[in-house]
Amino acid sequence: MIRYKPTSSSIKSHQSTVSLPKEEVNIVLLGKQNVGKSALVVKYLTKRFICEYDPFLEDTYWKPDTVDQQEVLVKVMDTYGKDDKRLPYYLKWADAVLITYSITQQDSFEMALAYLDAITNYSRSLSISSNELVLILLGTKLDLERMRIIPKCEGEAIAAKFSCAFYETTAAEDYECVRQLFHRTVREVRKERERVVASNSINEEARSTIPIHSTINFPSPSSSSSSSSSIHFTTANEPDKLPSINIPLPPPLPVNLVQRLGKQGKVDLQSSIHSSHTNLLHSSTPKAGSPVSTHNTSHVTTPKAKRPPSKTSVLSMFFK
Ligand SMILES: Nc1nc2c(ncn2[C@@H]2O[C@H](COP(=O)(O)OP(=O)(O)OP(=O)(O)O)[C@@H](O)[C@H]2O)c(=O)[nH]1
């Protein structure tokens, strides 16, 4: 049995590397205690599965990796699932958020829903922004299929509702399925970055070609766009979402409007995540046991639907 002993620095790696990749992707894992966040992180970093762990661990690790022949420095923040106050910080830091639950634990699924609610509400309440955050709902402990409580279709349905990607995986088996999870996450982040660059260059082009006295169809502030696995924080001049009203051309938005989530966040996220939530599913919570091999690969599902109307959250129930 391997005892996992983190060191005290805030960013660490299991290997020392002289030159690091320029591209960086920050991934944070959120979720209830015991769902297997640390196990996934350690598996990705070391290819080993830990049975014993420090439950109060919260730290950031990095690993140079190669995804699709491109080098990338993957930074992973492991949280310990008991401190909602740090959520704005996590969102500000992260390019991608893995919202984890154990497929064997009902309340961990409910907490994942609460996280999705809180993050969605938070993102919606930012009035001017073109930020994006890759969001992935992740069912863990797939090796415990015989103890499954949360059907796969339920996870898929929730992911579709929130327009995020969905995976199921396990840290207890094959390294490959964990590696795939992190690689897919890096790909999603790259897609989002490309989307932002493309959207900026469209804005730039529009700015240089539209005559100063012309009119333009201008989207309402509430319009938003969404691609397969992200929450988008949309600028008001995206050209593909145009309602029929004509108004005089406003001054163009600066190209560098892209800012990290939270920099403009004036909303009180804490009040958002402490409000009540009614979307609870059936309850029954057997304990996870030791790893039993039934699956070798992570399961991936792409989202199918747009984000739902905003709801309130039950995170406060879990953070007592
Ligand atoms: N069978 C099985 N057990 C797992 C898996 N992942 C983690 N575990 C076990 O579940 C327990 C909790 O794992 P952790 O990785 O520490 O969970 P955590 O979410 O990081 O917990 P906190 O740090 O307290 O938030 C440990 O006993 C692990 O050995 C998995 O994929 N399969």
Q: Show contacts of 193-202: CB within 8 Å, 24+ apart.
A: 195/132, 195/227, 196/130, 196/132, 196/258, 199/130, 199/235, 199/238, 200/255, 200/258, 202/239
pLDDT of residue 131: 57
How far is it, in rounded angstroms, from Cα 62 to Cα 87?
20
Task: Give all strands (DSSP E) within the chain, no chain letters.
Answer: 11-12, 24-31, 59-67, 70-78, 96-102, 132-140, 165-168, 215-217, 230-232, 246-248, 299-301
Tokens matching residue 206: 């529009």
Ligand 1 contacts CB of residue 171 (under 6 A): yes
Would 226 be classed as within a structural domain? no
- The answer to whether position 147 is within a domain reads yes
Question: Which atom of ligand 1 is least distant from the CA of 173?
Answer: 31
Which residue, judged by its Cα, is nearest atom 32 of ligand 1? 141
CATH code of the domain covering residue 87? 3.40.50.300
Of ligand 1's listed atoms, the one at least distance from the Cα of 100 is: 19
Does 280 map to a domain? no
Asked if the model's pLDDT at residue 155 lies above 80, the reply is yes
**Residue 193, domain extent:** 23-197
Ligand 1 pocket check for 20: Cβ under 6 Å: no
304 occurs within a structural domain: no
Q: What is the pLDDT of residue 52?
A: 59
Is the beta carbon of 140 within 6 A of some atom in ligand 1? Answer: yes
Number of residues assigned to the chain = 320
Q: Is 148 part of a structural domain of the chain?
A: yes
Q: What percent of the chain has pLDDT over 90?
A: 38
Cβ(104) to ligand 1 under 6 A? no
pLDDT value at 162 more than 80: yes
Q: Is the pLDDT of residue 25 over 50?
A: yes
**Residue 131 included in any domain:** yes
User: Within its chain, how far is the Cα of 102 from the centroid?
Assistant: 16
The residue among 261 and 21 whose pLDDT is bigger is 21
- Residue 166 banded pLDDT, cuts 50, 70, 90: very high
Average pLDDT of span 113-140: 80
Asked whether residue 62 is assigned to any structural domain, the reply reads: yes
> Which of 99-103, 211-215, 266-270, 309-313 is the least confident region?
309-313
Does residue 300 belong to any structural domain of this protein?
Answer: no
In order, the DSSP letters of 163-198 are: T-EEEE--SSS-HHHHHHHHHHHHHHHHHHHHHHHH
pLDDT tens-digit map of 259-294: 443 434 333 444 443 333 333 333 333 333 333 333
Label residue 184 by pLDDT band (50, 70, 90).
very high
Q: How many domains does the chain have?
A: 1
Q: Averaged over 188-201, what is the pLDDT?
A: 87
Could you tell me the distance, in angstroms and rounded to a whole number, from the CA of residue 268 to the centre of ligand 1?
31
Residue 95 pLDDT: 94
What value does the mean pLDDT of the chain take? 68
ipTM of the complex: 0.98
